[in-house]
Amino acid sequence: MSIKNTNVSSRKPKISRANKKVGKAPGTITYLGYREKTGSVLHVINYNESSLDESYPKSIEDILKAKKTKQTTWIDVVGISDEKFIGNLGESLGLNSLVLEDAVNTQQRPKVDEYENHIFGVFKMLYLDEDKELVSEHVALVLFKDSVLVFQELEEDVFDGVRSRLKSKANRIRSKGADYLFFALIDAIIDNYFFILENINAKIERLEEEVYNNPSPEIAKEIQKLKKEVLKVRRFVFPVRDLLGRLLESESTLITKDTKLFLRDALDHCIEINESLQIYREMSMSLMEMYMSNMSNKMNEVMKVLTIMASIFIPLTFIAGIYGMNFDNMPELHSKYGYFIVLGVMTVLFLGMMLYFKRKKWL
């Protein structure tokens, strides 16, 4: 499936999601998201080591027929706002209503649940839009014995690499079962986190230079935005490490020992990502401290200049104030050279203080 419909701005105005859930029983399928409600688009890939077939079923019956083949089946459901359709599809596949409730809840925290005949997982796809802004998309994966069901909000995703590998007969994924496809989809989500980290690192480096060279109020706003972005990514990524740990420890027959070896590698990547996020979190927080420190230093430089200026002109102003008084009994006022003497004294004081400040390296 090629990337289309990349217009992320087509969202409805945000309204309270809590109102949609109030009074409803657990397991009620209620779409909690900001996308416009549209019908779901189905994409099915049936494959084995020697063949691959793609189709776009129009009904649930077509999906059930594709699933009954002896091939591995990837069922991709794009668009999760059609609650009735999601409910009917889940019922046909024997999914628990609680699973379907979480599948359409875009605010659901990443999780993994095991059932008798399937494993359910919720993750967050993170990618950058055309303006290099962070976009998070809800994705739910269901692993069956011979198939994987995917629920996602938009057609745009991070699975193009998996689709390309499926089209190559020589690729490992064609000879493996549904559990390996389940791993490959999770691995694609995790690998894309590295691109997000690179983007965060680039922003931190750029802001560091800006803070040193030009610590303006606009930079402070960018730092605050960066801090929120790092926290958002960490909130989505941090639980994934524990979820992979649960899959590795799972005794379910749906995941083979061979696939667990690959899951362990994905866990290593996830640990690395979490460590990097912790470092970036600390760096983003230190950026604000650096900004405040540089602003304080800049203010101190200004105050230093003003203080030096005041220190220089205080004695000069004192002398000018004394001889500016209108008393008759001031002998110096009647001196022929009085003006030049006072002006000379003021010049000597000025030069002396400038020389003193320079020797103290205050200038």
CATH number at residue 219: 3.30.460.20
Which helix (H) or strand (E) is 96 found in, with range? none
Fill in the amino acid letter for 6: T
Residues 315 and 256 placed together within one structural domain of the fold: no
Confidence (pLDDT) at 341:
83
Residues 6+ apart with CB under 8 A from 214: none
| CA separation, residue 171 to residues 49, 146, 176, 179, 332 (Å) | 9, 18, 10, 15, 104
- Judge if 184 and 332 occupy the same domain: no
What's residue 20's pLDDT? Answer: 62
Per the structure, the complete domain to which residue 243 belongs is given by 18-293
What confidence score (pLDDT) does residue 36 get? Answer: 72
pTM score, two decimals? Answer: 0.78
Q: Which of 271, 293, 315 is the last residue of a domain?
A: 293
CB–CB of 280/197 below 8 Å?
Answer: yes
Which residue type is seen at 179?
D
Structure tokens at 225: 């935005």
Task: Judge whether 337 lies within some domain.
Answer: yes
CATH number at residue 323: 1.20.58.340
Please tell me whether residues 85 and 155 are part of one structural domain.
yes
Q: Are 252 and 308 in the same domain?
A: no
Q: pLDDT value at position 17?
A: 55
Q: Is 149 exposed, middle or buried (CB count within 10 Å of its CB: 0-12, 13-18, 19+)?
A: buried
DSSP state letters, 57-69: -SSHHHHHHHHTS
Both 288 and 321 in one domain: the answer is no
Centre a 10 Å sphere on the Cβ of residue 233 and count the other Cβ atoms it contains: 23
Q: What is the pLDDT of residue 277?
A: 93
Q: Which two tokens stand for residue 290?
A: 């650096």
Residues of the chain with pLDDT under 50: 1-15
Please give the tally of structural domains in the chain.
2
pLDDT score at 22: 58
pLDDT tens per residue across span 156-200: 889 999 999 999 888 889 989 999 999 999 999 999 999 999 999
Q: Are residues 178 and 321 part of one domain?
A: no
Whole-angstrom distance, CA of residue 225 vs CA of residue 211: 15
- pLDDT on residue 37: 75
Q: Are residues 100 and 173 in the same domain?
A: yes
| pLDDT score at 7 | 41
Q: What single-letter amino acid sits at 17?
A: R
- The reported pLDDT for the residue numbered 19 is 57
